[in-house]
Amino acid sequence: MKNHRKNDIEIKSKLESEIYSVIKTILSLAQKYQSGILKDLFFQKSIKNATNNLLTINISLSKHNLILSEMLKSMNYADEYYQAIAIINKISPLEFPAEMYSKSVSSSFLEIPKITSEITSSFITLMDALKLNDFHDEDLIFSLFTDLKKQFDKFPGLELSKVKLRKLFQEYEHKHRRISTNKNYRDLIADELYALFNDFKRKLNLEL
């Protein structure tokens, strides 16, 4: 029990250090950019890398049942965190229109661990349903597909992956009757979903 508690404390301390480091990096980059020390392209690439690190930290927090808002409060670092989020909002580092990013990112960053878990669950459930040998429930596939698309749309960024999922969903809608009668077609859809799921994990550096 003591070893388990010690391990939990070490994990929390490590994640606190990572949060502090990433936020400090973002704030430092912004200060240097405003002073004219950094050029646009380098600044944007550096912020994008820091943003991806922040996403990875959020996922690690979820994995270890830690709540970001509580950690920020205990670190007395909430103000700096939201300053960093404001900087991220301004430059659209995930390469989609800034107005869309601004509306979603501030709230979404706090929800990312939950959304990631829901997306993962939706992917796996849908792929498992498509692989059933005695499949006969077309309505179930439609419901699972719709849920996956809904969850995926909540995630900030990853616009190319969202486009791929929408195209796959549209193809399914046009040929939905084949789902219930053609196992090869179900396998094809499942394989395309699996490739998209692996791409999702790769982009977020998930270890699932």
Check residue 112 and give its pLDDT: 67
Cα(97)–Cα(160) distance, integer angstroms: 13
Question: Phi/psi at 92 (nearest 5 deg)?
Answer: 50, 60
**Domain residues of the chain, as ranges?**
2-93, 113-204
Name the pLDDT band for 23 (thresholds 50, 70, 90).
very high
* Contact in structure between 123 and 148 (CB atoms under 8 Å): yes
Residue labelled with tokens 């501030």:
106
Check residue 113 and give its pLDDT: 64
Cα(10)–Cα(58) distance, integer angstroms: 17
Percentage of the chain exceeding pLDDT 90: 18
Fold observed for domain 113-204: Four Helix Bundle (Hemerythrin (Met), subunit A) (1.20.120)
Average the pLDDT over 179-196 and give the result.
87
Check residue 31 and give its pLDDT: 92
Cα(173)–Cα(89) distance, integer angstroms: 35
- What the block records as the tokens of 5 is 């508690």
Assess whether pLDDT exceeds 70 at residue 136. Answer: no
| Cα–Cα distance list, 30 to 49, 89, 109, 126, 168 (Å) | 14, 12, 19, 42, 39
